Amino acid sequence: MSSATAVAGTNIALVKYWGKRDEALNLPATGSLSLTLDRLGTRTRVAFDGGAADRVTLDGAPAGEKFAARAAAFLDRVRARAGLTARATVETSNSVPTAAGLASSASGFAALALAATRAAGLELAPAELSELARLGSGSAARSIFGGFVEMARGARADGRDAVARPLDEGAGWDVRLVVAITAAGEKTIGSTAAMRQTAATSPYYEAWVRGVDGDLAAARAAIAARDLNALGAVAERSALRMHASAMAADPPILYWNPATLAAIATVRELRERGTAAFITIDAGPHVKVLCAAADADDVAAALNGTAGVLRTLVAAPGPGARVVEAA
């Protein structure tokens, strides 16, 4: 029997990914750009111990059917690649609520890709791991790397070039993301279905796709210049355009709740008072706020005082996925 444990931080996109050019391979319709976080992530142990079926636990309890099936399908890819048939035990725990729009699938599939390949005796190069993680969840390709990361759209039909890479020019820039949690429980519609519905029915989808390359260029330049105001402006418009395209789908997709809007208003007030703080929102109602390290406590306090905000978490840039135990 061989086993490995890997940890990965989640990542929050500053230039969003919203739409696939190939659903089977999770090939994105556009590139994206994100920040991998330190405190929020997943720890996963995989052991190919040869039971009758794959056994998956999530936060100490047997995983739900959908979650377990997704993990087993992912393990099948790893087994095919390693020439293995043995079933596995997978123990995974998240430091963020699962499937609530806090990007647990990003850290989850990054940690699973690394732990499963190592346990299967494979040593993949980082770009290959990124490609593999992408097959589990598009955003997971980015969590293989630490800090600021850019995910390429790629042009190939087989997806070999749809991988992430670290943006070295951002290394050491000590920003913070303050997460305002505005609801308990799972999100209303998963990202794959929501992307499909947006692409198929939203009159704004094409315009959304057309704008992403410009946002990527602006974000790269802002990171190279350590210009928080410029990066924040890109992040806000990317998130709001992503949500606008989803809201315009038929039927409409609306992830926000009243506290989401209240948190947006709080961040605008902070900015009017001179604090550089900028929102982004994923496929859920929570609001994530990009700011300087020195302002994070003030930003968190303002969000904690916002109606409907349940709690806040402050995260710093974190490292890429790594193996912490192998036997």
Of 246 and 296, which CB lies nearer to ligand PMV in the complex structure? Answer: 246
Residues of span 146-175 touching ligand PMV by CB under 6 A: none
Stretch near ligand PMV under the rule CB under 6 A, chosen from 61-69, 114-122, 134-142, 167-175:
134-142
Residue closer to ligand PMV, measured from CB, 94 or 105: 105
User: CA 105, CA 100: separation in Å to the nearest integer?
Assistant: 10
Q: Cα 122–113–196 angle (5° rounding)?
A: 140
Q: Which of 327, 264, 294 is nearest to 256 (CA)?
A: 264
Q: Which of 3, 44, 130, 191 binds ligand PMV (CB under 6 A)?
A: 191
Query: Which residues sit opposite 57 in a β-bridge?
Result: 62, 91
| Cα separation values, 64 from 56, 70, 245, Å | 9, 10, 31
**Residue of 4, 6, 7, 13 that binds ligand PMV (CB under 6 A):** 13
Structure tokens at 231: 């990066």
According to CB under 6 A, which residues from 244 to 303 bind ligand PMV? 282-283
CB of 284 to ligand PMV, least distance (A): 8
Under DSSP, the state recorded for 57 is E
- Is residue 236 a contact point for ligand PMV (CB under 6 A)? no
Give the residue carrying structure tokens 């519905």.
197
**Cβ–Cβ under 8 Å, residues 319 and 146:** yes
- Neighbour count for residue 45 (Cβ, 10 Å): 21
Q: Is there binding between residue 9 and ligand PMV (CB under 6 A)?
A: no
**What tokens were used for 281?**
């929102």
How near is the Cβ of 27 to ligand PMV at its closest, in Å? 12
Nearer to ligand PMV, 236 or 282 (CB): 282
Decide if residue 139 touches ligand PMV (CB under 6 A). Answer: yes
Binding residues for ligand PMV (CB under 6 A): 13, 16-17, 32, 103, 105-106, 137-139, 191-192, 282-283
